[in-house]
Structure 1
Amino acid sequence: MQNTRLNNLFDAIASRLGQWFLNPWRRLSLLIISFLFGFFVGNAVSTTAGQRGFLDIVVAAFLVVLTEFTSRIFYSQSFLSRRSLWVDSLNFLKVGFIYSLFLEAFKLGS
């Protein structure tokens, strides 16, 4: 790409955000927010997919493929290398999503 002012602006914003999230407390807070957002998405998906009732199997298959794809992204890197922030936040989002679906299943089973 060309070295335009807009590209320089986006590069500067991305580098400053990267430096800002190097603080461990900010990183932890972003990971907790992504976990809670995944929990919210899981609740929203389970209630909206259960309302119609005729696409349950298709939605469940899509969600399984989506969670497996995010697991493949997270676990494909080497264990000792430091993971990037977006991969960690994607994994926390997935964990919150799966946790929410388990809680919904326990509520329906009881």
Structure 2
Amino acid sequence: MQNTRLNNLLDAIATRLGQWFLNPWRRLSLLIISFLFGFFLGNAVSTTAGQRAELDIVVAGFLVVLTEVTSRIFYSQSFFTRRSLFVDSLNLLKVGFTYSLFLEAFKLGS
């Protein structure tokens, strides 16, 4: 890419943001927010997808494919290597989403 002012500004912002999230407490807080957002997303998807009950199977299939792709991305790396913040937050988003769907299924089963 060309070395423009906009390109330099975006690179500087990305570098500073990456350095800001190197702090363990900030990283942990972002991961907790990602988990809670996944929980909210699972709750919202289960209520809106079941509203009309026409595309339940298609939505369920799409969500399974999405979670499997996320798992493939997360678990394809070695266990001992340090994962990026994006991959960690994506995995916790998936975990919160799956946990929320399990809780919704338990609520409907009782």
TM-score by length of 1: 0.99
Structure 1 match to 2:25: 25
Q: Give SS of 1:35's match.
A: helix
> In structure 2, what residue type is equivalent to 1:4?
T
The alignment's C-alpha RMSD in Å is 0.4
> In structure 1, what residue type is equivalent to 2:64?
V
**Deviation per CA, 1:51-94, whole angstroms, max 9, x where unpaired?**
01010000000000000000000001111110000000000000
Asked if 1:76 corresponds to 2:105, the answer is no
Structure 2 match to 1:62: 62
Structure 2 match to 1:103: 103
Structure 2 match to 1:14: 14
**Deviation per CA, 1:14-67, whole angstroms, max 9, x where unpaired?**
000000000000000000000000000000000000001010000000000000
Percent identity for Structure 1 against Structure 2: 89
- Take 1:33 and 1:80, find their aligned partners in 2: how far apart are those partners? 24
Structure 2 match to 1:50: 50
Runs of 4+ in 1 over 4 A off after TM superposition: none
TM-score by length of 2: 0.99
- Take 1:69 and 1:107, find their aligned partners in 2: how far apart are those partners? 27
Unaligned runs of 5+ in 2: none
> In structure 2, what residue type is equivalent to 1:21?
F
Number of residue equivalences: 110
